[in-house]
Amino acid sequence: MKKILAIIVALATTMAFATACNEKTEVSDTTASEVETSDTEASEDTEATEPSTAESDMLDRAGNGIVLPEKVDRIVSMAPSTTQVLIEIGLADKIIGADTNSTASYDTQLPSLVAGFDMMSPDCELIASLEPDIVFTSGMSSVGGTSPFQSLIDSGICVADIPSSASIADIAEDIRFIGIVTGKESEAEDLVEAMTLYISAVEDIAKTVPEGETKTVLLMMNVPSAEYPTIYTVGTGTYMDEMFGIIGAKNAFGDQEGWLAISIEEALAADPDVILMDCNWMPGADEAVKALEGWENVKAVKNGDVYQIDEDLCSRPNHHVAEACAEWARCIYPDQFNEFNMTLELMAEAA
Amino acid sequence: MKIEVKNMTAYYGRTEILHDINLEINAGEKVFIGGSNGSGKTTLLRVISGIIPHKGEVLVDGKEISSMKRRDAAKLISLMPQTSDIYFPYTVYETVLLGTYASSGSALGGINAKDIEYAVKCMEDCGVLELKEKHLDELSGGQLQRVLLARTFAQRSPFLFLDEPGNNLDIKYRAELCDKLNNWAEEKTSDIPNSLVCVFHDLEQARRCCTRAVMMKEGRIIYDGDISNGTTPEMLLKIYDFDVASYIDNKNPL
Amino acid sequence: MNKKGTGLKIAISAVLCLFILVVCIRAGSVYISLKDLFGIIGGHITGKGTPEGVAPMMDSIFWTIRMPRALCAFMVGGALSISGACMQALLQNPLASSYTLGVSSGASVGAALVLVTGITLPFFPNFTLPFAGFVFGLLTVTCAILLARAIDRSISNTTVVLIGMVLSLFVNGVLNLLSTFDDAHSKQLYLWMMGSFSARGWKHCAILFPVCIVCFIGLMLMSRKMDIMSFGDLQAQAMGVDAKKTKIVSILICALLTGISVAFTGVIGFVDLAAPHVVRKLFGPTHKLVLPMSFIYGGAFMALCDLISRTLLSPREIPVGAVTALIGAPFFAYVFFASRRKNR
């Protein structure tokens, strides 16, 4: 009995010490951060003439103040959507670093590329060693509110964050922002204009779809299996939902908001006319869905209207989503859209 | 009809427990198996009833017991083991009825009206009929012992092997037990006269129930004959290495 | 004997179990009226097809997805429970289950090997996993029995439990090693180790059903032997039951039941321990009643657990093994301690 008591007492004291220590470290943490903030305030006060603070009137797409570099010769792009825009506004040769998704897709178009980085855990030291003038980051990288690029920001490199946009209007703003930051405003504006024109062209054709023939479409980002019975799709408040509106189709889960996880039963109950498979990582996803047990009665499966679409085209939020609209539209309303073979380039030229 | 044991040796693991046993038990006999703790009495009962493997021969009605089907062997010899662990609370009725398994006519051991009738009779004989709906875990040690006796009776075999059936019984029930066993031995439950083969620690019980004594020591039979000669003070001294006569009240003639 | 009371209890249990099954089929992310549900079931049974006024999609959801899933859960629960009941009688231990013999973990190793090596059965590639699970489960039990026999010829209970435990520990070690070597399948392996009825369809039921029926009949024919066996080997032998033979036959049947259940759904614990225990409390220990009632109670319990596993965090699914353990363990502890108090 005494032994047990002794153990309990010992445990209790250790616990008490441990908590005390924790409190201590917390205290020191706060003091440290206080010191830091006062430091930065002080530097802002004393070094007000420094360009870094003087020009900090620009906000990036995430709303953080950034300091624009004087020249943009060395760019690191950490999102394929951004890389694509940079290439198309004529900065391909200035991209010295990119995320691995970008390098996989645009490798051949990037002559000055030095290194590829993992999107989720970028090697900030290596990025810094490339001495970039600007680093474009995306919402994809920040997990749980902490940016993995904080050390870059702290080292004084211009980090321009472009969070994943939820609407096409925001996508246009993203492109304009890239243009402003890199000094290619008019080129960026051309891209936006091409996108806008392209989208209205699609909208015009979509209007020819007879009333009452509006199709319900289910976008699936995976094929459900016994191991992963959940299906990922989109609801309102996403640019993909907006794309359905442009095409004149009804999003099967347009009554819910945001990026969605749904059950197989819900998907079946929605009984979509067309299923779009947005998953390049799984070739043959369309056939896999057609073969799913219990899906025989789904209109899309019954009529063979299950299509694999190009994930790269629609999942990279930039002007190319306009082309994705056309791709989807050709699947959903082939009668109206089969003739529509416009490309963004042509559209830009036409403009 | 008789049981013949010829040059039988039995092992427990690698230890030889019984050495070269020769024994003959005729139908209708009432045999007391005596001996000190660890002399091999229990093993002998189990070997003869075919539960423990052995070397040599154990013939029941001329047939080797170990090559018989278990159910056929149980039709000839019913053994009431010394230990009676209860794991699941069957009712008294269910328990006694299970005793009819071997003798039941049904191939799969189904229960027929005759079995039920006989089980009820056995319960009555053992004075446990009024406990019929009680669960085994609700019984006292003595009640349980009587229930298991009823179950052994229900097996309907001509040879009844009892391993210390007096355990847990008070003196009154022990006396009653002797009457029951004697009654049963007189009864005609089949074409073969009923035989008793009993291990007792209570010599009084042994003398009341049995006429023949088989006395064992260290895995060998050292006496086989009339019970009065088998339980003399000299014999008991030899068996137990202990003066039993002076321990027991002198007025009680042994 | 209180036959009337028992009859009433059986009737109530059967109705309750049917009710639970209907609830399990109806509940989910899509709603259906009772009338439509019975319309769909009737339509399939009579061969008339989906009745008018019922969307064909409802037919798909309920007939193709939910019903087989619920029935599969029911049958697996029932199969595990009767094998548990049987094991408990054979080992004279109300806390025993087929787990103590290592069938489940043995089956997991089979499935893990299939996943890691990518071997498939010719002609029936879809059944490679269940088949491997079953064969390995049987192998584990056979090993256990052979080892036990080598140690002591009459296969005493302690030996069997000990050997089963040692084997399942060993087998678990192998399993962990396998999942360490193969990261790609670790998620799948993990799910399989916890059990799931997701995407179980009629093809699974079509195999489970006959196996369950045959094994159930087999065990029912042995029900009186099992009653006798539950008094221990010695008494069983004395009463005319060949303890060794009965043990081997019933363990094989149990291995088949558990092996096929585990193979189809993964390792699901606890049901096989609890259901027979509860049934014995309600109906007494006679196996003629314990076996069918265990099937019903275990099945209904498993169907309920599956319902919880697919609806609680819908659309995500919780492994059903986690649900059975979470609900079942405290309940089982309650039953266990309540009975101990009563005995004292």
Nearest to A230 among C55, C200, C316 (CB): C316
Residue of A nearest to C197 (CA): A226
**Contact predicate C82/C70, CB 8 Å:** no
Nearest to A229 among C57, C198, C201 (CB): C198
Cβ–Cβ below 8 Å for C60 and A264: no
pLDDT at res. A294: 86
Tokens at residue B169, please?
């019984």
Q: Residue A299 and residue A328: Cα distance in Å, rounded?
A: 17
Domain co-membership, A346 together with A240: yes
CA distances from C102 to B55, C5, C162, C195 (A): 36, 38, 10, 16
Nearest to C30 among A224, A231, A266 (CB): A266
Domain count, chain A: 2
As a whole number, mean pLDDT of residues C108-133 equals 76
Domain co-membership, A143 together with A223: no
Residue of B nearest to C240 (CA): B71
Domain co-membership, A280 together with A159: no
Q: Residue C237 and residue C247: Cα distance in Å, rounded?
A: 12
pLDDT at res. A54: 45
**Contact predicate B67/B19, CB 8 Å:** no
Q: Is the pLDDT of residue A9 over 90?
A: no
Tokens at residue C27, please?
């509940």
Most confident of B130-134, B171-175, C44-48, C313-317: B130-134
As a whole number, mean pLDDT of residues A148-157 equals 85
pLDDT at res. C97: 76
**Contact predicate A323/A344, CB 8 Å:** yes
Q: Residue C211 and residue C214: Cα distance in Å, rounded?
A: 5
B–A touching, 3+ CB–CB pairs within 8 Å: no
Let me know if residue A27 belongs to a domain.
Answer: no
Let me know if residue C171 belongs to a domain.
Answer: yes
Let me know if residue C198 belongs to a domain.
Answer: yes
Domain co-membership, A222 together with A152: no
Domain co-membership, A238 together with A327: yes
Label residue B111 by pLDDT band (50, 70, 90).
confident
pLDDT at res. A143: 57
Nearest to C60 among A226, A266, A296 (CB): A296
Q: Is the pLDDT of residue A39 over 50?
A: no
Residues of C in contact with B137 (CB under 8 A): 343
pLDDT at res. C141: 75
Q: Is the pLDDT of residue A61 over 50?
A: yes
Let me know if residue A88 belongs to a domain.
Answer: yes
Label residue A20 by pLDDT band (50, 70, 90).
very low
Domain co-membership, A106 together with A213: no
Cβ–Cβ below 8 Å for C241 and B101: yes
Q: How many CB pairs under 8 A join B and C?
A: 91
Let me know if residue C149 belongs to a domain.
Answer: yes
pLDDT at res. C1: 46
A 10 A CB-CB count for A7 gives 10
Q: Residue B12 and residue B30: Cα distance in Å, rounded?
A: 27
Domains, in order of start, for chain B? 2-84+157-247 (3.40.50.300)
pLDDT at res. C339: 60
A–C touching, 3+ CB–CB pairs within 8 Å: yes
Domain co-membership, A223 together with A334: yes
DSSP 3-state of A135: strand
Cβ burial, residue A215 (10 Å; 0-12/13-18/19+): buried
Does A295 contact chain C (CB < 8 Å)? yes
Let me know if residue C12 belongs to a domain.
Answer: no
pLDDT at res. C168: 75
Q: Residue A159 and residue C101: Cα distance in Å, rounded?
A: 61
Does C279 contact chain B (CB < 8 Å)? no
**Contact predicate A75/A134, CB 8 Å:** yes
Q: Residue B71 and residue B102: Cα distance in Å, rounded?
A: 5
Cβ–Cβ below 8 Å for A225 and C199: yes
State the CATH number of the domain containing residue A274: 3.40.50.1980
**Contact predicate B129/B138, CB 8 Å:** no
Cβ–Cβ below 8 Å for C199 and A224: yes
Mutation test of the interface with chain A: which of C31, C57, C127, C313, choosing the one with the most A Cβ atoms within 10 A? C57
Residues of B in contact with C237 (CB under 8 A): 50-51, 70
pLDDT at res. C184: 72
DSSP 3-state of B17: strand
pLDDT at res. C85: 93
Label residue A43 by pLDDT band (50, 70, 90).
very low
Count of residues for chain C?
344
**Contact predicate C202/C325, CB 8 Å:** no
Q: Percent of chain C beyond pLDDT 70? A: 91
CA distances from A97 to A9, A126, A127 (A): 58, 10, 7
Domain co-membership, A214 together with A316: yes
Domain of residue C235: give its range: 70-343
Residue of C nearest to B89 (CA): C285
**How far apart are the CA of C76 and the nearest CA of chain A, in angstroms?**
17
pLDDT tens, A89-110?
Answer: 999 999 999 999 999 999 899 9
pLDDT tens, A272-294?
Answer: 999 999 998 889 999 999 999 88
Q: Percent of chain C beyond pLDDT 90? A: 29
Domain co-membership, A258 together with A160: no
pLDDT tens, A220-238?
Answer: 999 998 778 889 999 999 9
Contacts 24+ apart (CB under 8 A), A21-30: none
Directed axis angle between helix C271-283 and helix C3-26, to 10°?
140
Q: Is the pLDDT of residue A5 over 70?
A: no
**How far apart are the CA of B96 and the nearest CA of chain C, in angstroms?**
11
Domain co-membership, A148 together with A241: no
Cβ neighbours of residue C119 under 8 Å, at least 6 residues apart? Answer: C113, C128
Paired residues of A276 in beta bridges: A219, A307
**Contact predicate B227/B207, CB 8 Å:** yes
Domain of residue A103: give its range: 56-164
Residue A163 phi/psi, 5-degree rounding, is -65, 155
Nearest to C314 among A263, A269, A296 (CB): A263
Paired residues of A134 in beta bridges: A75, A158
Residue of A nearest to C68 (CA): A294
Residues of C in contact with A230 (CB under 8 A): 315-317
As a whole number, mean pLDDT of residues C177-189 equals 75
Q: What is the DSSP string of B143-193?
A: HHHHHHHHHHHHT--SEEEEESTTTT--HHHHHHHHHHHHHHHHS-SSSSP
Q: Return the HEC string of B20-60.
A: EEEEEEECCCEEEEEECCCCCHHHHHHHHCCCCCCEEEEEE
Let me know if residue C16 belongs to a domain.
Answer: no
Q: What is the DSSP string of B100-144?
A: GGTT-SSTT----HHHHHHHHHHHHHTT-GGGTTSBGGGS-HHHH
Question: Shortest CA distance to A323 belongs to which of A197, A225, A213?
Answer: A197
Nearest to B78 among C228, C238, C343 (CB): C238
State the CATH number of the domain containing residue C100: 1.10.3470.10
pLDDT tens, B39-63?
Answer: 999 999 999 999 999 999 999 999 9
DSSP 3-state of C315: coil
Directed axis angle between helix C128-151 and helix C103-117, to 10°?
140
Let me know if residue A159 belongs to a domain.
Answer: yes
Domain count, chain C: 1
Domain co-membership, A87 together with A219: no
As a whole number, mean pLDDT of residues C88-99 equals 77
Let me know if residue C61 belongs to a domain.
Answer: no
Q: Residue B19 and residue B221: Cα distance in Å, rounded?
A: 9
